[in-house]
């Protein structure tokens, strides 16, 4: 008997892969410690002191499972957002929620619409459940709303993914256009509206909570991983109708959330003054990244996120050489988009001044070395 015959044909057909190569793996592969971790869109500014205190106070209770109903966090989020706890589902970051949503909707062979070059972890989940990806290219470095809608209707797709603001380009659409898109979709199509970067978005980017909360074919996903500084805690949530939210209870890991992460998320939510401070620091760091880019002859794209996509003006090979040069020679970890034409860019996460200083000093050296090599 084959060693792999125990697996389903679908699983046998899939490669063993990781959507993102982590900075830890890069350190192991290259034998160099990272000096500036500005590639994974984490918050180098970290969580509030009140959050760290909540983590310390909860650590002694880590022997307990977390509440499988996530009652306290759902209550806190409902109060913060002005909705009902019944409209909220909790998950292990947006990545965990995406996998559950795909599982709820997609059977092998079903079409799933997304943007070409958009968030690759979503594609990973679609492949893992046998879905057929239908991709729509970006237009002017922005997700193509009209193209996504046309693809949904052409394919009669049961699921479409749209991020606003988006990763990897940092672009965004105004709330009225997002609402138009959501309401134009067929009732048979479920929209994942990924709002991971909602806290850093400009005013009038996010549709109001009440404008979409009654639509059973819309799930908005948000996270504590970005502006709140809790990427390692893995806490995300979905906003939707009570009926759609309850569907998660059919398949989710009811003990999947960790008690310390839940306590950290609640403390973070309670400290909105710190969130405002971090959002301001993110904005200043975006400006610093843009300045560094321009000083080196590059074009920084406008960003509504905690990173900046920088157009290097050439091709993917050049972008990759910059990414590798920064890491290999200086220990500066950044990333780049995965497909053309987006991969003419590099993507740099915001961070503290010390890391920006390292970037500012290293980037001219890397570019000089590349120029000398021809």
pLDDT digits (tens, 9 = 90+) for 275-305: 999 999 999 999 999 999 999 999 999 999 9
pLDDT tier at 21, thresholds 50, 70, 90: confident
Q: What pLDDT does 1 receive?
A: 44
Structural contact between residues 326 and 336, judged by C-beta atoms closer than 8 angstroms: no
Q: What average pLDDT does the chain have? A: 96
What is the arithmetic mean of pLDDT over 27-45? Answer: 94
Residue whose tokens read 């880019």: 293
Q: What pLDDT does 3 receive?
A: 55
Give the CA distances from residue 108 to residues 66, 131, 151, 333, in Å, rounded to whole numbers and listed in that order: 33, 5, 19, 37
pLDDT digits (tens, 9 = 90+) for 194-243: 999 999 999 999 999 999 999 999 999 999 999 999 999 999 999 999 99
Q: Which residues contact 368 (CB under 8 A, 6 or more apart)?
A: none
Q: What pLDDT does 68 receive?
A: 96
Report how far residue 311's alpha carbon sits from residue 333's, in angstroms, rounded to the nearest whole number.
17
Q: Which fold would CATH assign to domain 49-272?
A: 3.40.640
Q: What pLDDT does 78 receive?
A: 98
pLDDT tier at 19, thresholds 50, 70, 90: confident
9-46+276-372 carries CATH number 3.10.20.90? no
What percent of the chain clears pLDDT 90, i.e. is strictly above it? Answer: 92
Q: What pLDDT does 4 receive?
A: 52
Beta-strand ranges (E) seen in 99-170 are: 111-116, 132-137, 159-163
Q: Choose among 295, 252, 249, 319: nearest CA to 93.
A: 252
Domain ranges in the chain are: 9-46+276-372, 49-272
Backbone Cα Rg of the chain: 21
Structural contact between residues 287 and 351, judged by C-beta atoms closer than 8 angstroms: no
User: For the chain, how many helices (H) and strands (E)?
Assistant: 14, 12
262: pLDDT strictly greater than 90: yes
Give the CA distances from residue 170 to residues 2, 42, 200, 244, 277, in Å, rounded to whole numbers and listed in that order: 46, 14, 10, 29, 20
Instruction: Please list the alpha-helical segments (H only) found in 23-129.
Output: 23-30, 49-59, 71-81, 93-105, 120-128
Structural contact between residues 162 and 190, judged by C-beta atoms closer than 8 angstroms: no
What is the arithmetic mean of pLDDT over 350-358? Answer: 98
Report how far residue 308's alpha carbon sits from residue 345's, in angstroms, rounded to the nearest whole number.
10
């Amino acid at each position: 008997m084959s060693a792999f015959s125990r697996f389903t044909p679908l699983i046998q057909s899939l490669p063993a892969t990781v959507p993102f190569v982590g900075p830890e793996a890069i350190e192991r592969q290259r034998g160099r410690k990272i000096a500036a971790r500005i590639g994974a869109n984490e918050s180098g500014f970290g969580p509030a002191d009140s959050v760290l205190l909540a983590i310390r106070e909860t650590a002694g209770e880590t022997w307990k499972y977390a509440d499988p109903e996530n009652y306290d966090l759902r209550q806190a989020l409902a109060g913060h957002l002005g909705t009902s706890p019944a409209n909220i589902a909790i998950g292990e970051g947006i990545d965990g929620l995406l996998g559950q949503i795909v599982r709820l909707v997609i059977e092998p062979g079903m079409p799933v619409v997304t943007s070409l070059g958009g968030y690759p972890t979503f594609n990973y989940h679609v492949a893992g459940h046998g879905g057929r990806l239908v991709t729509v290219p970006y237009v002017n470095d922005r997700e193509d709303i009209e193209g996504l809608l046309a693809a949904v209707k052409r394919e009669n797709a049961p699921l479409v993914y749209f991020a606003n603001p988006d990763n990897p380009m940092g672009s965004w659409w105004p709330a009225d256009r997002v609402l138009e898109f959501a309401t134009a979709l067929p009732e048979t199509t479920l929209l994942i509206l990924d709002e991971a970067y909602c806290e850093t978005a400009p005013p009038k980017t996010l549709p109001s909570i009440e404008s979409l909360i009654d639509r059973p074919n819309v799930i908005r996903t948000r996270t504590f991983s970005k502006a709140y500084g809790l990427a390692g805690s893995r806490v995300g949530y979905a906003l939707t109708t009570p009926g759609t939210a309850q569907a998660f209870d059919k398949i989710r890991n009811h003990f999947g959330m960790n008690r310390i992460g839940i306590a950290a998320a609640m403390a973070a939510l309670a400290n909105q003054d710190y969130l405002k401070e971090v959002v301001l620091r993110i904005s200043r760091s975006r400006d610093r990244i843009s300045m560094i880019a321009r000083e080196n002859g590059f074009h920084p794209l406008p960003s509504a996120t905690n990173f900046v996509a920088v157009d290097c003006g050439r091709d993917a090979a050049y972008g990759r050489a910059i990414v590798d040069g920064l890491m290999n020679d200086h220990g500066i970890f950044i990333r780049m988009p995965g497909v053309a034409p987006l991969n003419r860019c590099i993507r740099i996460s915001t961070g503290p001044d010390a890391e920006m200083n390292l970037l500012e000093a290293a980037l001219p050296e890397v570019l000089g070395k590349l120029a000398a090599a021809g």
